[in-house]
Copies of this chain bind each other. A is one copy, B any other.
């Protein structure tokens, strides 16, 4: 019978290698996009024989899941850090968190595309990705939560700490989707010849949305 408490040292080493794999995969994702990501090239770059990587990752799909979770965490963490120094005016906090979203997306276009672009064909995201995804929405909800005076949350989005009525919740969701719509249009190149100054356009819309959200 195997010992139920695995070796600490092996556990640590293992986690380190998984982290290396994820980091290298992310690097390749940033260079070539999700479709081109291959286990073989990750292994190669890590100086490992191609089959060795199967000690750590069960399949290509599992590596993609790792990357998706990682991307959500990076983005969520970035938004949270941005909010730390944002003062206590809801409108300012909204500007800052929305701006941080756009900046992160521009800095990590393939990570953004991986999670908010078209799904990788044949890949179905497991439920492990839901938690990290919510982290992003929680950050976006922060200014609204604050404007509402942190009421006791109920309803479908209670985990976000929001307590608006159904109608007001639809407003919030629609406004968030506009945010992602704008970022996607900019990143995916749908504004050629229409919008010249993306930063200005985005800032202008973010303020309009702040009005709409009552911030």
Contact = CB atoms under 8 A, between A and B. Distances in A.
A133 B121 CA distance: 24
Given A118-B117, A201-B170, A125 B189 contact: yes
A52 interface: no
Nearest to A205: B174
Interface of A: 32-36, 110, 113-114, 116-122, 125, 130, 133, 156-157, 170-171, 173-175, 177-182, 184-185, 188-190, 192-195, 201, 204-205, 208
Given A35-B120, A113-B118, A170-B208, 18 more contacts: A32-B122, A36-B122, A110-B121, A113-B119, A116-B184, A116-B190, A130-B192, A130-B193, A170-B201, A173-B195, A174-B182, A174-B208, A177-B178, A177-B181, A179-B181, A180-B184, A180-B185, A181-B182
B113 A190 contact: no
B122 A33 contact: yes
